[in-house]
Amino acid sequence: MPYLSLTTWSLHRNLGPLRWTRWDAQNQCHIIEEQEQPETITLLELPKALADKGFRSLEVCHFHFPSTEHDYLSRLKQSFQDAGMTFYTLLVDYGDISSNDSVRRNADLQFIKSWIDIAAQAGAERVRVVAGESSPNDQEALERSAAALQELSHYAKQKGVRVVTENFLALSSTPENCLYLLRESQEQIGLTADFGNFKQPGKYEALAAVLPYAESVHAKAAHNEEGEIDAEEFRNCLDLAAQAGYEGPLTLVYDGPGDLWEGIQRTREVVEPYVTILTK
C-alpha cells in the first residue's frame, strides 16, 4: 500500500559533509572530494526522527554515509530496526555503466558492487544504479548499460539486494530507454520514476508510460526561487501515479531554498491526500 517516504537528498544541507566521487581520466582512477556542510541531524538519528513524523521508509544517497566501516553499518541497520523504518533504497549517485571507456566502465562497476555490499550490510532492500551519462540516442551505450545492469543485478541478488534504475541523467531520459532496460533485464531490475526528471514537452506522457512499472516514486515538485511549490503541476504527476495504480512508497524530494524541513512539509501537504486516494 502507498505510504510516505523520504530521500536524504531532501535534507542534503543538514546531514554534514558530502562525499562526491568523480573519475580522474588522466590517472584512470576515482577521486573522493568532500564538501563541507552543517550537520543538524545525523544519519543514525534520522530513521527515528522520520518515524516520529509518520514516515515509513527512507532512501539514502551514498554520499551521505559518514562511514562505511562494518561497525557503523551495523549501527545504521539497527537504527532502522529500532525505529520500525524500512531502508528502501541506497541511492548510488555515481557511475557511468554506459561509458565506451572500458577502464572507466569496469572501475565504475566495481565501485557500484562495493556499494551493493554496503547496502547488504546496512539492511537496504534496494540499490539504485544510474543507467548512464551517454546520449539517449546511443544504442550501443544503451546495450552496454543493459548488460551492466544485468551483471549488477546478478551480483546483488546473491547479497539479498535488488537493483533498480531510474529516469535519471541522459541515457534514461526517455521512457523508451527506461522500458528497454527493464525488458532486457527480464524483470531482474526495477524502476524508480522521478517526477522531476522528465521535462516538458512530453513530461506527462513519459511519466504515464513508465509509472505502471515503477516500484518507487520520487515525488519531486517544481518550485520557484522562494521554494513555493507548483501544486497544480505536482498534482498532475500524482494523478498519473494514481491512474497507474501505483502501490509503493511516495518518496518526497525537496531540493529548493530555505529551511529544508519546511520545504518537505510543503511537499507533504500536497502528497499526503494521495496516500489516502491510492490506498482505496
C-alpha cell read off for 137: 540516442
CATH code for residues 3-279: 3.20.20.150
The residues spanned by each domain of the chain are 3-279
DSSP annotation of 253 reads: E
Site of grid cell 554506459? 98
pLDDT tens track, the chain, 280 positions: 899 999 999 999 999 999 999 999 999 999 999 999 999 999 999 999 999 999 999 999 999 999 999 999 999 999 999 999 999 999 999 999 999 999 999 999 999 999 999 999 999 999 999 999 999 999 999 999 999 999 999 999 999 999 999 999 999 999 999 999 999 998 899 999 999 999 999 999 999 999 999 999 999 999 999 999 999 999 999 999 999 999 999 999 999 999 999 999 999 999 999 987 766 6
For residues 32 and 57, the answer to whether their CB atoms sit within 8 Å is no
List, in sequence order, every beta strand (DSSP E) within 169-258: 190-194, 216-220, 249-253
Containing H/E element for 166?
strand 162-166
> Distance of CA 31 to CAs 100, 101, 191, Å?
20, 17, 28
258 three-state secondary structure: coil
By DSSP bridging, strand 126-129 and strand 86-92 are: parallel
CA pair distance 264, 227, nearest whole angstrom: 10
CA pair distance 259, 257, nearest whole angstrom: 7
For residues 165 and 130, the answer to whether their CB atoms sit within 8 Å is yes
> Which pTM value belongs to this model?
0.97
DSSP string, 51-77: HHTT--EEEEEGGG-S---HHHHHHHH
For residues 154 and 146, the answer to whether their CB atoms sit within 8 Å is no
C-alpha cell read off for 72: 557503523
